[in-house]
Amino acid sequence: MRHLLKKFTAITGILSIALTIACCQESEKYTLELKFNKGDILKQKMVSDIETSIAGQKIAMIMEIAYSFDVKEVMNDGFLLNLKYDAMKLNMPLMGISLDSNTEDDIITLQNFSPLFKLLTKQSFELQMNKGGKIESFKGMDNLVEKIAAAFDPSVPDEMKTQLIEQFGNQYSQESIKGVFEQMGAFYPATPVNVGAKWTHELELPVNSMSFKINLTMTLKGVENEVALIDLDATVASVENAVLETNGIQIPVSLNGTQKGTAKVDMKTGWTIESTITQNISGNMEVMGMKTDMSIVTKTQVSQ
């Protein structure tokens, strides 16, 4: 009996220590914010695997983007950054489309539209970002449309040229680029949080000629070796009365769905080491008074 009592006492002591450590860990507060230094160059690569289904017809697309942030100034409440696309690739196997910004050509022809991406990699963007990751200002789209228009070969029909400029301008507008990077970065809480804490963030993301409202909920799952693990859970919905403009035609669209993923963040810099996000949205589009079912599944991975 005495032996069992000693063993039980030892076990109780170990459990007490473990519970004390656990309580201390749970009560410890962590400050999640960007901590850049002037001169830092932060690089990332984003790969998106997108499958769009319209009336049962599926189109697969893989988009690869490498980009870098150059920290120009450190201010009291944030940072002045230069954003540059280092490389861009787009592959749509079923449609025989393949674009690569590393093309040697500078002229957009009927056989090669890759210079569209090449022009974007030559453009530099300036932005101000606060310590929470929110983009306060964004500049750099000046004259890009004019540069694209001047890069077309005379053999490209004017109608096609106009359509491509419109589509490219919608996809890579100042607001859409700002929205993409804000969605990736602005997930830090305003105050220190402990493990298990949740916080929210709302934003509107322009995509082509329409916009989506995203309501994000983040959870700090844990911190280990100066790396924070954050869960992301969101609802996604097209704005009310959304329309998709194509070839001068306005097509009503109604879409909603979810976005789930995880991110690993370097606590020393606040920079995302890697993240994986799956977005699943569905709904319908109305063409000539008839509604057609559609869905979009996007799997995105971000790495350094």
Question: Side chain identity at 145, as an amino acid letter?
Answer: V
- Length of the chain as a residue count: 304
pLDDT in 10s for each residue of the chain, 304 residues:
444 334 344 444 444 444 444 444 456 889 999 999 999 999 999 999 999 998 888 889 999 999 999 999 999 889 999 999 999 999 988 778 899 999 999 999 988 889 989 998 998 889 999 988 888 888 887 788 888 889 999 988 988 888 888 777 777 777 777 777 776 655 788 899 999 999 988 888 777 667 888 898 999 999 999 999 999 999 989 888 888 777 677 888 898 999 999 999 999 999 999 999 999 999 998 887 788 898 999 999 999 8
* Virtual torsion, Cα 21, 26, 32, 35, nearest 10 deg: -10
Burial 101-121 (b: 16+ CB within 10 A, else e): beeeeeebeeebbbbbbbbbb
Would you say 118 and 106 are in contact if contact means Cβ atoms under 8 Å apart?
yes
Tokens standing for residue 106: 């500078």
Question: Side chain identity at 164, as an amino acid letter?
Answer: L
* Virtual torsion, Cα 260, 262, 268, 269, nearest 10 deg: -40
**CA 91, chain centre distance (Å):** 19
3-state secondary structure of 293: strand
Continuous segment of H or E residues that includes residue 160: helix 158-171
Q: What's the CA gap between 178 and 128, in Å, rounded? A: 11
SS (H, E, C) 103-141: CCCCCECCCCCCHHHHHHHCCEEEEEEECCCCEEEEECC
Tokens standing for residue 238: 């097209």
Quickly count: other Cβ atoms within 10 Å of residue 16's Cβ: 10
Q: Determine the pLDDT at residue 247.
A: 67
Q: Determine the pLDDT at residue 192.
A: 92
Phi, psi dihedrals of residue 120, rounded to the nearest 5°: -70, -35
Cα atoms in the Cβ-side hemisphere of radius 13 Å centred on 145:
14
Q: Determine the pLDDT at residue 185.
A: 59
286 strand-pairing partners: 291
73 strand-pairing partners: 80
Continuous segment of H or E residues that includes residue 250: strand 249-266
